[in-house]
Structure 1
Amino acid sequence: MTLSDKLLAPQSTDVLAPEWIRRAPKVLLHDHLDGGLRPETIIELAGALGYRALPSTDPAELAAWFRDAADSGSLERYLETFAHTCAVMQTAEALYRIAAECAEDLAADGVVYAEVRYAPEQHLTGGLTLDEVVEAVNAGFREGERRAAATGRRIRVGTLLCAMRHAERAREIAELAVAHRDRGVAGFDIAGGEIGNPAARHADAFDYLRSQGARVTIHAGEAVGAESIREAVLRCGAHRIGHGVRITDDIAVDADGNVTLGRLASYVRDQRIALEVCPTSNLQTGAATSYPEHPIDLLRRLGFRVCLNTDNRLVSGTTMTREFQHLQRTFGYRAAELEEFTLNAAKAAFLPFDERTALINEVIRPGYAKLRAAELSRVPVGESAAAPAA
Structure 2
Amino acid sequence: MAALTPENIRRAPKVLLHDHLDGGLRAGTVIDLADAVGYDALPSRDPEELAGWFLGAAHSGSLVRYLETFGHTVAVMQTREALTRVAREAAEDLAADGVVYAEIRFAPELHVELGLDLDAVVQAVLEGFAAGPPSITVRCLLTAMRHQARSREIAELAVRYRDEGVVGFDIAGAEKGFPPTRHLDAFEFVRQQNAHVTIHAGEAFGLPSIWEALQICGADRLGHGVRIVDDIVMRDGVPQLGRLAAWVRDMRIPLEMCPTSNVHTGAATSLAEHPIGLLRDLRFRVTVNTDNRLMSGCSMTSEMTALVETFDWGWADLRWLTTNAMKSAFVHFDRRLSIIDEIIKPGYDRLTREWQ
1:249 to 230, 250, 254: 230
When residues 303 and 75 of structure 1 are mapped into structure 2, their CA distance, relative to the original with a 3 A threshold, is closer
The equivalent of 1:313 in structure 2 is 293
The equivalent of 1:81 in structure 2 is 69
The equivalent of 1:277 in structure 2 is 257
Give the gaps of 5 or more residues in structure 2.
Answer: none
Deviations 1:20-69 (A, max 9, x none): 10000000000000000001111011011111100000000000000010
The equivalent of 2:195 in structure 1 is 214
- The answer on 1:293 being equivalent to 2:273 is yes
Deviations 1:338-360 (A, max 9, x none): 11110000000001111111011
The equivalent of 1:350 in structure 2 is 330
Q: Secondary structure at the match of 1:314?
A: coil
Rg comparison, structure with higher value: 1
CA distance in 1, matches of 2:298, 2:60: 16
Match runs of 1:145-294 below 5 Å: 148-149=133-134, 154-254=135-235, 256-294=236-274
Q: Secondary structure at the match of 1:52?
A: coil
C-alpha displacement of 1:97: 0.3
C-alpha displacement of 1:15: 6.1
**Letter of the structure 2 residue corresponding to residue 300 of structure 1:** R
Q: Secondary structure at the match of 1:113?
A: strand
2:115 to 108, 121, 127: 127
CA distance in 2, matches of 1:167, 1:368: 43
Aligned partners of 1:15 and 1:332 also within 8 Å: no
The equivalent of 1:337 in structure 2 is 317
Provide the aligned length of Structure 1 versus Structure 2. 355
Structure 1 stretches of at least 4 aligned residues deviating more than 4 Å after TM superposition: 74-77
CA distance in 1, matches of 2:112, 2:123: 13
Q: Secondary structure at the match of 1:19?
A: helix
**Letter of the structure 1 residue corresponding to residue 170 of structure 2:** D
The equivalent of 1:115 in structure 2 is 103
**Letter of the structure 1 residue corresponding to residue 334 of structure 2:** D
Aligned partners of 2:176 and 2:205 also within 8 Å: yes
Aligned partners of 1:15 and 1:334 also within 8 Å: no
When residues 48 and 24 of structure 1 are mapped into structure 2, their CA distance, relative to the original with a 3 A threshold, is same
Q: What TM-score results when the alignment is normalised by the length of structure 2?
A: 0.98
Q: Secondary structure at the match of 2:298?
A: coil
C-alpha displacement of 1:73: 3.5
CA distance in 1, matches of 2:83, 2:309: 36
The equivalent of 1:50 in structure 2 is 38
C-alpha displacement of 1:263: 1.1
Aligned partners of 1:158 and 1:185 also within 8 Å: yes
Q: Percent identity?
A: 63
- The answer on 1:93 being equivalent to 2:74 is no
CA distance in 2, matches of 1:76, 1:173: 23
1:304 to 274, 281, 284: 284
**Letter of the structure 2 residue corresponding to residue 371 of structure 1:** L
Q: Secondary structure at the match of 1:27?
A: strand
Q: Secondary structure at the match of 1:318?
A: coil
C-alpha displacement of 1:80: 2.9
2:347 to 363, 367, 383: 367
C-alpha displacement of 1:79: 2.7
C-alpha displacement of 1:303: 1.1
CA distance in 1, matches of 2:3, 2:302: 13
CA distance in 1, matches of 2:29, 2:13: 26
1:62 to 50, 54, 59: 50
Deviations 1:295-327 (A, max 9, x none): 101001101000000000000000000001111
Deviations 1:146-197 (A, max 9, x none): xx23xxxx00000000001000001100000000000000100010111000
Q: What TM-score results when the alignment is normalised by the length of structure 1?
A: 0.89
**Letter of the structure 2 residue corresponding to residue 215 of structure 1:** H
Q: Secondary structure at the match of 2:194?
A: coil
1:31 to 11, 15, 19: 19
Aligned partners of 1:243 and 1:275 also within 8 Å: yes
CA distance in 1, matches of 2:184, 2:63: 28
| CA-atom RMSD in angstroms | 1.1
